[in-house]
Homo-oligomer: A and B are copies of this chain.
Amino acid sequence: MNSHAIAELVFHLGRIASGEGLVEGLTPAQWAVLRYFARANRFSRTPSAFAAFHATTRGTASQTIKSLNNQGYLTSMRSEDDKRSIRLVLTDKAKNILANDPLESLVRAADSLPTSAQDHFSNALQQMLGQVSQERGRPPFGTCTSCQHLEVDGCSREGQTAYMCGFTSESLLIEELDGVCINFIENKKRITVKRPVISA
């Protein structure tokens, strides 16, 4: 009985937080694109990957991206490896405007939850997302830190452990491990990532 309430709340909350008209002159779909390219890693910044992430068609994604391109929020270039593929990058204009993301109200709401609850909450959501994605036959889109493809690169340099992606066979910078990836596959026993201490 409670699961029904949860489903409705999730749906409704997502709707309320995003569907709030044209913030900064951008539509909800356009905000979704900016958000995605701000989070996606190097291998996933393409129209197709966004379409998969956003559960829409490549045609629709192409249209939204074109509009953002025209408005100067995205720059695009052909990939070297695959000449069909296009790589998209946020411009500074886009990075600046992301501070006014209408989703920030949801972030604040999440922030007001007790710290202890936030972890459980985020885990529960992730589990639900995984299940729904599987049911719908969609890629789950996670980050390296819990991905089967993450491998420790043999040669460490400068005292830091080096990582690589077993799927693309490319080495990864530590900063890249938190980007969302379309090639993600859930890994039960995850590798512990050693991060350099960041001075506050």
A residues whose Cβ falls under 8 Å from a Cβ of B:
2-20, 32, 35, 39, 54-56, 103-113, 117-122, 124-129, 131-133, 135-136, 138
- The prevalent SS among residues of A at the interface is helix
A151 to chain B, nearest CB (A): 24
Taking A6-B107, A9-B122, A109-B127 as known contacts, 9 extra A-B pairs with beta carbons closer than 8 A to each other, sorted by chain A number, are: A2-B110, A8-B35, A9-B129, A12-B129, A105-B132, A112-B128, A117-B120, A120-B121, A121-B121
Q: How far is the CA of A155 from the CA of B56 in the complex (A)?
A: 56
CA distance A177 to B90 in the complex (A): 49
Chain B residue nearest to A126 (CB atoms) is B9
A192 CA to B138 CA, complexed, in Å: 44
User: A135 CA to B106 CA in the complex, in Å?
Assistant: 10
Residue pair B107, A117 in contact (C-beta under 8 Å) = no
How far apart are the CA atoms of A35 and B10 in the complex, in Å? 14
Q: Who on chain B is nearest to A35 by CB? A: B8
Give complex CA distance A10, B127 in Å: 12
A7 with B132, Cβ < 8 A, contacts A2-B119, A138-B16 known? no
A13 near B16 (CB under 8 angstroms)? no
Contacts of A111 in B (CB 8 A): 3
Q: How far is the CA of A126 from the CA of B10 in the complex (A)?
A: 9
- A62 CA to B183 CA in the complex, in Å? 43
Please name all residues of chain B whose beta carbon is closer than 8 Å to the beta carbon of A13 when the two chains form the complex.
Answer: 10, 14, 125, 128-129, 132
* A98 to B: closest C-beta gap in Å: 11
Does the CB pair B132–A106 fall under 8 Å? yes
Q: Please state if B132 and A11 are interface contacts (CB–CB under 8 Å).
A: no
